[in-house]
């Protein structure tokens, strides 16, 4: 019985200690949002920055075949842009096991030769949506909004398949909306009323506005 009482006391002590630590941690986050790491270390916590495994993977990535070596040489200004280089890029991009870490590195560096390669591809094959997606990803690391708008707009105009156009218009909206560009309204001005493309754009705008109406509104304090 004495042992049970002792265990009970220890359990209560641990519970109280944990509650006090929890309250102290909450107080630190509330009062020191910009300097919480130093304050946590003052009460005995150790801060360990998580290793960026994706960055490490990219840093250690090496070309695995001749195609990839040719592309790396191109990105490093040791080869000139050509149709051959572009076809190699497509082949490696569409491979069964692409060397994602290697290519991601050049996107994140906003490599200008990579950008030139994507634009070359879109100039010659304007309806390749995969290249537009790559250009959107590149935009995350270098602001090329005007270029993105130009190529998305042209592809929307030239795309003949209505179902593909609908997906393309949505991609255009989601790719540029974070920058404040209203792609759907811009597209609406390009197509005559009652045309198939205009009907799709009108539907997407109505759908977006309806979703915005249903979205929870922020609470005013």
On the question of pLDDT at 136 being above 50, the answer is yes
User: In terms of Cα–Cα distance, which of 139, 141, 138, 136 is closest to 155?
Assistant: 136
| Unique residue bearing structure tokens 């082949």 | 91
Radius of gyration of the chain (CA): 27
pLDDT digits (tens, 9 = 90+) for 37-69: 666 667 666 655 545 778 888 888 899 999 999
Name, in order, each residue with C-beta under 8 angstroms of 71's C-beta and a sequence gap of 6 or more: 63, 85, 88, 89, 92
- Whether pTM > 0.85 for this model: the answer is no
User: In terms of Cα–Cα distance, which of 83, 175, 155 is closest to 121?
Assistant: 83
CA angle 174, 142, 155 (to 5 degrees): 45
Name, in order, each residue with C-beta under 8 angstroms of 81's C-beta and a sequence gap of 6 or more: 74, 113, 116, 117, 120
């Amino acid at each position: 019985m004495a042992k049970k009482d002792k265990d009970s006391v220890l359990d209560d002590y641990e519970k109280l200690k944990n509650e006090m630590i929890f309250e102290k941690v909450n107080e630190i986050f509330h009062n020191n949002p910009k300097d919480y790491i130093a304050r946590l270390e003052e009460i005995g916590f150790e801060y360990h920055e998580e290793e960026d495994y994706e960055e490490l993977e990219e840093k250690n990535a090496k070309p695995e075949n001749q195609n990839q070596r040719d592309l790396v040489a191109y990105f490093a200004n040791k080869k000139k842009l050509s149709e051959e280089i572009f076809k190699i890029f497509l082949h490696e991009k569409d491979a069964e096991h692409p060397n994602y870490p290697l290519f991601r590195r050049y996107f994140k560096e906003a490599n200008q030769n990579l950008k030139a390669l994507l634009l070359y591809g879109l100039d010659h094959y304007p309806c390749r949506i995969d290249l537009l997606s790559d250009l959107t990803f590149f935009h995350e690391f270098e602001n090329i909004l005007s270029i993105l708008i130009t190529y998305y707009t042209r592809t929307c105009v030239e795309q003949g398949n209505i179902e593909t156009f609908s997906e393309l218009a949505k991609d255009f909206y989601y790719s540029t909306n974070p920058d404040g560009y209203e792609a759907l309204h811009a597209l609406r001005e390009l197509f005559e009323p009652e045309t198939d493309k205009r009907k799709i754009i009108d539907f997407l705008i109505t759908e977006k506005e309806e979703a915005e109406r249903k979205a929870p509104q922020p609470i005013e304090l």
